[in-house]
Amino acid sequence: MNNDNALNANVGLKLRGLRLQRNIKQADAAKDLGVSPAYLNLIEKGKRVMPFPLLWKALRYFEQDPEQFMSTLGEGRVDEALAKLLDEPLLKSLDIDSESLQSLSAEPKLAGTVAALFNLYKNTRTQLENVLAQLNVEERTRTQGSPSGNGLGNTPGVRFDYSPFDEVSDFLEKHRNYFPELEEQAEGLRRDFGLEQQITSSQLTRMLEERFDYRVRIERATSGSSVVRRLDLDARTLTLSPDLTEQPLKFQIAASIGLMVMDREKLVERILGAGRMRHGETERLIKVNLANYFAGALMLPYSEFFKEVQRTRYDVELLSNVFGTTYETVAHRICNLSDPKRQGLPFHFLRADIAGNISKRYSGTGIRFASGGGSCAKWAVHLAFLNPSQITRQYSIMPDGTTYFCFAKVQLQPIEGSIVKGTAYSIGLGTHAENAKYLAYGLPTNDLRKDAIPSGISCRFCERTDCNQRAAASYRFAFAFDEYTKKDCFFSPLLVHEKEKGERNGNHDPLDNDADGSEKHDSLDRGARRRKGHEN
């Protein structure tokens, strides 16, 4: 707001506040002041300049001292409780500015109600999240200890932490991440426009304009906004950020074309069928995933891509050069090769940041991921950050004996030469260990059990008793420690035989012996066996 507008708004707001304090209706005040209700309404909203004669008349009407009134104008003071809401992430997403809050401040009762309701919402949301987290822990602990529990997260029971993203992952795995309807539509467009193996953003732009009658604009987002693509269905325009380089630019245009094709052909409805989703947001998230799938199918046509995958033996780096796209796009596409007639190897996919957060995941191998988004620190996808310019490769063995071969590479996208301003992700792929011999990145091994790195799903549900990288105690063990015995990791459960020396020194517990006096050498600590004895 400029100074004049600010002054008009402050005068109007203060007069409105005076009127409301006296419980005078706007129509009655307008009649007494000799103006129309509509004109007074505009003045109170700061949209009309108030003439000085009318202002003096209003001040006499509200019994206000003119000098005191004028001295309090300046920049209007927003209600303190409302002002604090400007820093709330939710209100930031609604784009509520200080001018709007200042207008609301003229309604004291309404302002207080809004602030109170928002704080109540925050407190309730926090309490709900805490309750759900506790219920989830209790449910997982119960099912992990049940006969049907296998420790891999697929146990029966209620999933209190089952998010829309989990539902999308389950949807993709159910369809084996393969959607022939999208493949056919993408192949048809490539054929109609005579696209070669490598396509350019200019070719995709021409497709957008000629086939869908959309215009493409390159325009920087407003300050503070990180939007890189906006598809305006009414104006029939696709607005793209000038910061996008050629490879991500192609992907964004191709994904936009995918959205248009799905809307025109009603593909989302056809693919979903009559099934109901648990979360209201899931269907739209699935649509986003399908649009990205379409982009991959348009840029990396199934038939040609499958042949190159076979020729290069799944060399992701080489494939990204052959098709002129990113490492991540190729890694995604490798997980789509489930056509029964031209089927590739099964892979699981992970994208992680340097803090270990998992932002994308897909299980095509049966491996289970922790629902909270974390994973095992021993996985290649995390270790890749130690050598970001190289492919990190390893065999892994899970607690149940299942073995995998995994490889990962860090993908950097700096902004203004700064990685901190940009992004750094590790892209991980994994398949069953016996498939390593088919891969360009495969490692030789004479003893898989010896060469495989012991790993798990996540610390909270891992069965391993001797992991030196544990970040938390496992729910699968009763947490116990001995101040006289130190393991290489504090959170590793202390086994019975690891405390024998202390027991021989006078800390012996008679419950540690069988009836014949022989000691049990199992993985239960004394406290756990006491509880077990009481339960029996």
Burial letters 77-104, b for 16+ CB under 10 A, else e: ebbeebeebeeeeebeeeebeeeebbbb
Question: CB–CB of 335/371 below 8 Å?
Answer: no
Coil, strand, or helix at residue 406?
A: strand
Check if the beta carbon of residue 265 is closer than 8 Å to that of residue 246: no
**Terminal CA-to-CA distance of the chain, rounded, Å?**
75
* pLDDT of amino acid 511: 39
Q: pLDDT by residue (tens digit) across 80-134? A: 556 566 556 655 555 566 666 666 665 666 666 776 677 667 667 667 766 766 7
Residue 533 has pLDDT above 50, yes or no: no
Number of neighbouring beta carbons within 10 Å of residue 6? 17
Residue 128 C-alpha from the chain's centroid: 20
State which H helix or E strand residue 171 sits in: helix 164-174
Residue 507 CA to chain centroid, in angstroms?
50
State pLDDT tens for residues 356-389.
999 999 999 999 887 655 689 999 999 999 999 9
Q: Is 443 helix (H, G, I), strand (E, B) or coil?
A: coil
CA angle 274/278/282 to nearest 5° reads: 80
Does the model's pTM come out above 0.75?
no
Model pLDDT, residue 375 = 86
pLDDT tens across 210-230, in order?
999 999 999 988 776 789 999
Tokens of 346: 């099964």
Rounded distance between C-alpha atoms, residue 276 and residue 320, angstroms? 37
Q: Please list, in sequence order, all residues whose beta carbon lies within 8 angstroms of the beta carbon of residue 500, skipping any fewer than 6 positions away.
A: 519
Confidence band (pLDDT; 50, 70, 90) for 137? low
Residue 46 — φ and ψ, nearest 5°? 75, 15
Residue type present at position 24: I
Among 262, 346, 266, 341, smallest CA distance to 302 is for: 341
Instruction: Please choose, from the candidates 253, 389, 410, the residue with its C-alpha nearest in 3D space to the C-alpha of residue 328.
Output: 410
As a whole number, mean pLDDT of residues 33-44 equals 88
Please, what is the Cα angle at 118 between 116 and 124, to 5 degrees?
100
Query: At residue 175, what is the residue type?
Result: H
Using CA atoms, how far apart are residues 507 and 501, in angstroms rounded to an integer?
A: 9
Q: Distance (Å, rounded) from C-alpha 310 to C-alpha 312?
A: 6
Q: Percent of the chain having pLDDT more than 90?
A: 49
Cα 488 to its chain centre, rounded Å, is 34
pLDDT of residue 165: 87
Q: Which amino acid is at 517?
A: G
Measured distance CA(155)–CA(414) in Å, rounded: 42
Residue the block writes with tokens 């993709």:
172
pLDDT value for 483: 81
Digit-coded pLDDT (tens) for 168-188: 999 999 999 999 999 999 999
Q: Are 507 and 494 in contact (CB under 8 A)?
A: no
If you search the block for the tokens 């200080």, which residue do you land on? 98
Task: Tell me the C-alpha to C-alpha distance, in Å, between residue 371 and each of 154, 168, 302, 460, 525.
Answer: 11, 13, 31, 11, 28
For the chain, the average pLDDT equals 82
* pLDDT at position 18: 85
Q: What angle in degrees, to the nearest 10, is found between the helix axes of 98-105 and 3-21?
A: 30
